Amino acid sequence: MANFVLVHGAWHGGWCWQRVVAPLASAGHRVYAPTLTGVGERAHLLSSLITLETHIADVANVLEAEELESVVLVVHSYAGMLGTAIADRMGARLKHLVYVDAVVPKPGESWSSTQASATREQRLAAAQASAEYSFPAPDPAVFGLAGSDLEWVKRRQTPHPGHTYQAPLDFDVARVAAVPRTFVDCTKPPLGTIDVVRRRVRDPKFWDGAWQGGGGARVVELPTGHDPMISAPGELTRLLLDAAGRSDAYS
């Protein structure tokens, strides 16, 4: 039995993992899909006081409160910042770290660091214009969603706390790299804000070579859009089960 902790990305909530939680649980695993402060069903807590450290604490407190060890930590999109922090600070608790089309920063970078200047300016302007310093969700069509899936996500998305956007994350690459890692590259269509990251995780020099060292890292392509837990839940579930069963370094 594995302990899965599934962490959603920006504008989403624990709700987005519904189609993955059920099959993982049916396979006999413990599954937790927390919602970060200020979004989803916790949108009533949205405020300008929420920071990157707030969200890191959200995830860390799940591991602490549930007394979890040998965790398969699955982080989507923005939550790659959170997964990196948890691997740095609580790496002994992790069995595997799965970045699902997620941010993989360099030390000292923020979520915004790898994004185009136009995207940064637009999001920061929106945050500054809002009462709670937040910025609104994009049309889910950019995630490759259509039809009822698009409408479902569009109804549920909520504004994201803006002070998480430019906050730098300092971490020790060797500690993070000690945790076995999988990067799930969602390719159809590829989301533009992940372009820099998908090149990084294929670069043997990334993190001064540490990315491919330590516990080992692999890249797996998934021919779906940025929200595979919604558009390809079966395929994503199989990848997560595979990650849970791996303990050796990837080559």
Q: Which residues are catalytic?
A: 77
Full DSSP string of 204-231: TTGGGGTTTSTT-EEEEEESS-S-HHHH
Full DSSP string of the chain: --EEEEE--TT--GGGGHHHHHHHHHTT-EEE----TTSGGGGGG--TT--HHHHHHHHHHHHHHTT--SEEEEEEGGGHHHHHHHHHHHGGGEEEEEEES---PPTT--GGGGS-HHHHHHHHHHHHHSTTSEEPPPPGGGGT--HHHHHHHHHH---EEGGGSS------HHHHHTS-EEEEEE-SSPPGGGHHHHHHTT-TTGGGGTTTSTT-EEEEEESS-S-HHHHSHHHHHHHHHHHHT--SPP-
